[in-house]
Amino acid sequence: MTPKALFALCDELLHEVLRFTTPADAVVSSFFRQNRALGARERQTLAETVYEVLRRRAKYQYLARSGHGSIERRLILLAWQGSEAYLNAAITEGERTWLDNCRQFDPMKASKGHNAALVHNLPEWLVEPLKAQVGEEFDALAEALLQPAGLDLRVNAIKVKREAAQEALAAEGIRAQPTPFSPLGLRVDGKPALNRTEVFNRGEVEVQDEGSQLLALLTEARRGEMVVDFCAGAGGKTLALGAMMRNTGRLYAFDVSAHRLAALKPRLARSGLSNVYPAGITHERDDRVKRLAGKIDRVLVDAPCSGLGTLRRNPDLKWRQSEKSVAELTAKQASILDSAARLVKSGGQLVYATCSVLEAENEAIVRAFTEAHPDFEMLDAAEVLERQKVEQAASLCHDGMLRLWPHRHGTDGFFAAVWRRR
């Protein structure tokens, strides 16, 4: 494809993404399905450029107040992630001069009132809640959230040990190191096409952020138990729980989205697990849920949330969420946790988790639940993680709850609390 044609396509794609009606990853995949002629390299350049615009949108929009052409084109020139030669072949001399000037720009020299936002690239409503939590670490957190996430794998312990998976990956040319905290994790160098490897297709590894691996470990699920993954989605944590149960017992994977549960099927097939029962529910008070009341050993609530802990991989979320959407989510989270708790039997364990960094979706939900449910006793998350052979468990927790931060732990931002039913 000629550079000019590729830029026109990028313009079209960015226009669609910036409408913010659909998640960026879904817009990008659907666009690639409609433009099958695009090669692998071209797809990579388009996706990375669009994601770079989303990451530093505040800065690029500020710069794009000058220049010519559509706003999308100016943003693309500023955020371009392909080769410089390709860029030169697509732009005019005037654009080249403008771009060179823009590249000299120092956000700290922008007019007062703008400069901080042009560095952290966060919406204003998010700044104070984050500062309230991390204080002086705010700049480090904001910078970490601007970096693309690495690639973590969870080793499927029912098939292989971590060292053996690491060696098998190396034999296929993929270098990976054990993750610092999770005993099951491998962190891969670069972004290799994992789904073409035999190790992946044999189900020996799954893609999963180290933080997500730790959330699943908090359930302490064991052989022969009855376990519910209440918000299973495409089953990232379901697969981890099934392996912890050594493919025995019964693991229900609930979700209101049949579409997401369907994505679990091929992953289940690869994993070799036969103890998983996916079940679509209409809402958290579904009859299917009621029938299991008081019967379940471990319940994981990986609640629907703002996803603001995953900005490294989903930078569009900071522009798509708002104070209003977060308020709606917190009401839903409290209701789901309340329903899911009814499943837990006496002596059983309940985990509430999110991939959000907001107090309102995390500690506030936990406080309200604990006050309203004296039959649930909070457990110290660090002690639970230590029992699960997690390294430096205390450094991952605060006030008895798991609190993972990209700038401190190199994971996405995650939160979790654990209770035992008396």
Ligand X SMILES: C[S@@+](CC[C@H](N)C(=O)[O-])C[C@H]1O[C@@H](n2cnc3c(N)ncnc32)[C@H](O)[C@@H]1O
Binding residues, by number, are 255, 302
d(C-alpha 85, C-alpha 89), whole Å: 6
Interacting residue with ligand X among 165, 336, 396, 401 (CB under 6 A): 336
d(C-alpha 254, C-alpha 265), whole Å: 13
Which of positions 249-288 make contact with ligand X (CB under 6 A)?
A: 254-257, 260, 281, 283-284
* Residue 79 vs 308, nearer CB to ligand X: 308
* Residue 47 vs 232, nearer CB to ligand X: 232
23 binds ligand X (CB under 6 A): no
Could you tell me the smallest distance in angstroms from the CB atom of residue 254 to ligand X? Answer: 6
* Residue 211 vs 315, nearer CB to ligand X: 211
* Residue 272 vs 304, nearer CB to ligand X: 304
d(C-alpha 68, C-alpha 76), whole Å: 12
d(C-alpha 241, C-alpha 206), whole Å: 13
Could you tell me the smallest distance in angstroms from the CB atom of residue 335 to ligand X? Answer: 7
Interacting residue with ligand X among 67, 211, 236, 249 (CB under 6 A): 236
230 binds ligand X (CB under 6 A): yes
d(C-alpha 411, C-alpha 208), whole Å: 11
Q: What angle do CA 324, 326, 331 make, to 5 degrees?
A: 100
Residues linked to residue 415 through DSSP beta bridges, in sequence order: 354, 403
d(C-alpha 49, C-alpha 81), whole Å: 5
Backbone angles phi, psi at 174, to 5 degrees: -115, 120
Residues 405/357, Cβ–Cβ less than 8 Å: yes
Q: Which amino acid is at 406?
A: P
Identify the DSSP state of 376. E
302 binds ligand X (CB under 6 A): yes
Interacting residue with ligand X among 3, 183, 272, 304 (CB under 6 A): 304
Q: Which residues are marked as active site?
A: 355
Site string for ligand X, 142-181 (x = CB under 6 A): ----------------------------------------
* Residue 168 vs 303, nearer CB to ligand X: 303
* Residue 46 vs 216, nearer CB to ligand X: 216
β-pairing verdict for 185-188 and 176-178: antiparallel
Please enumerate, by residue number, every residue annotated as part of a binding site for S-adenosyl-L-methionine.
255, 302
Could you tell me the smallest distance in angstroms from the CB atom of residue 208 to ligand X? Answer: 8
Could you tell me the smallest distance in angstroms from the CB atom of residue 163 to ligand X? Answer: 25
d(C-alpha 17, C-alpha 12), whole Å: 9
Residues 353/309, Cβ–Cβ less than 8 Å: no
Total residues contacting ligand X by CB under 6 A comes to 20
Residues 305/361, Cβ–Cβ less than 8 Å: yes
Interacting residue with ligand X among 67, 107, 185, 233 (CB under 6 A): 233
185 binds ligand X (CB under 6 A): no
Binding stretches for ligand X (CB under 6 A): 212, 230-237, 254-257, 260, 281, 283-284, 302, 304, 336
